[in-house]
């Protein structure tokens, strides 16, 4: 497995890294095709926002250059960038001299079933709830224990993704995806001001919807609203869009707006 630490090939990182000790950092999972990172500017924009909000000092120009060089070496696959606050002594307080650490790992593209995109997926109703923390809402920070617990709730192959609610019972996202519904021609996605990850494919589809003048709303979403939807789909930056066809005993058809946005996502990831 190809791996770099701070711009150089390496197979290990420091045991005193704050990312390891506290999850003190951010990450991006970036598809690579033809040696080029996909949705690159959106990934970098989210990373920059995360660094600003967590006060992690990072050289974003250097990160961009390293990612481009790493992608050229990978060719085809997935690059995972972990940006930590760097080394620190015992205790939560970050040392004034902390220097951000850049860890890059390469892996093959996930072998998702073609039926997920073509026929749609069933959502598993996860019992694990997302905690509400506005200071971290939207960020792709390194602490993913809620998702680890949620993904451990099912082992069968009938469910390709899980549905996650917050502690107040609002619909937020999938375990590794964002969620949209369509109701009376309007595209709706949950507000992520209390928890959840603001995905780059989510951001791209919101921008595309505005360009195409598709009625759009970002709002709190209840389970009742989800069940009453005309169409449901999930998305992320590796597979694009998967229609959602079932949650327990409830069923949805694969609708025209889902297919339209799926086609747009596919074109974005193929370029």
Active site residue 84: no
Closest CA to 203 of 213, 192, 194: 192
Closest CA to 196 of 103, 106, 104, 129: 129
Active site residue 140: yes
Choosing from 140, 161, 189, 204, which is the catalytic residue?
Answer: 140
Choosing from 173, 189, 204, 245, which is the catalytic residue?
Answer: 173
Q: Which residue numbers are catalytic?
A: 29, 140, 173
């Amino acid at each position: 497995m190809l791996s770099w630490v701070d711009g150089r090939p390496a197979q290990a990182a420091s045991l005193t890294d704050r990312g390891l000790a506290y999850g003190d950092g951010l990450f991006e999972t970036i598809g690579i095709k033809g040696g080029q990172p996909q949705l690159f500017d959106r990934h970098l924009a989210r990373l920059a926002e995360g660094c600003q909000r967590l006060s992690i000092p990072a050289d974003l120009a250097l990160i961009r250059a390293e990612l481009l060089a790493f992608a050229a070496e990978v060719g085809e696959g997935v690059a995972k960038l972990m940006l930590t606050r760097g080394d620190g002594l015992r205790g939560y307080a970050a040392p004034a001299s902390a220097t951000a650490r850049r860890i890059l790992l390469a892996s093959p593209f996930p072998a998702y079933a073609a039926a997920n995109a073509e026929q749609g997926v069933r959502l598993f109703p996860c019992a694990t709830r997302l905690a509400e923390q506005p200071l971290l809402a939207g960020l792709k920070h390194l602490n993913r224990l809620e998702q680890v617990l949620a993904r451990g709730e099912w082992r069968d192959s009938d469910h390709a993704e899980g549905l996650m609610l917050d502690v107040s019972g609002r619909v937020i996202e999938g375990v590794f995806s964002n969620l949209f519904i369509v109701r009376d021609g309007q595209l709706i996605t949950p507000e992520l001001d209390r928890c959840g990850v603001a995905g780059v494919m989510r951001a791209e589809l919101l921008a595309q919807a505005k360009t195409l003048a598709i009625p759009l709303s970002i709002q709190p979403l209840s389970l009742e609203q989800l069940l009453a939807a005309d169409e449901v789909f999930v998305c992320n930056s590796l597979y694009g869009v998967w229609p959602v066809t079932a949650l327990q005993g409830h069923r949805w058809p694969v609708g025209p707006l889902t297919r339209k946005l799926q086609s747009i996502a596919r074109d974005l990831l193929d370029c």
